[in-house]
Amino acid sequence: MDLDYITGMIMRIGVILSISLVALGVILILIEGHACNYSESVLFSRTSYVNSSIANINYIIKGFTNISGLSFIYLGLIVLVSVPILRTALALAYFAYEKNKLYIILTIIVLFNLVFAILFLPSIIK
């Protein structure tokens, strides 16, 4: 099993998928002129109050049922953030397969830090 090749493919596929989702979301917003009750001018303003703090899973799913561009953008960002976590989890599985205890411990620490920083730290900082 070539970890570098698999990691490279995961990174490429994740980034391409993320870019595609974000681009599709922007195109939908430009076509419709709004997304999830926000006008185009509000969404694309430099001082827009629309940011990721308004998005949760229910919000994104509801946006998909309405084919909202904003939901596609949020999903693209979630995919982009998930790529390093998936890469680290893959490395952990590889090191477990190789029975490399030192790298297993180090990778668990890195994976914990990633998950903690992405999922829990924002709610603590609020």
**Residue 50 pLDDT level (bands cut at 50, 70, 90):** low
Position with higher pLDDT, 61 vs 15: 15
Number of domains in the chain: 1
| Overall average pLDDT of the 40-56 stretch | 68
Those residues with Cβ within 8 angstroms of residue 123's Cβ, 6 or more apart along the chain or in another chain: none
Position with higher pLDDT, 62 vs 13: 13
- Residue 43 reports pLDDT greater than 80: no
In three-state secondary structure terms, 57 is: helix
Ordered alpha helix ranges (H), the chain: 3-32, 40-43, 57-65, 69-98, 101-115, 121-125
Element (H, E) at 38: strand 38-39
- Residue 113 reports pLDDT greater than 90: yes
Q: Which domain holds residue 7?
A: 3-125
- pLDDT value, residue 1: 63
- pLDDT value, residue 12: 94
| Overall average pLDDT of the 105-124 stretch | 88
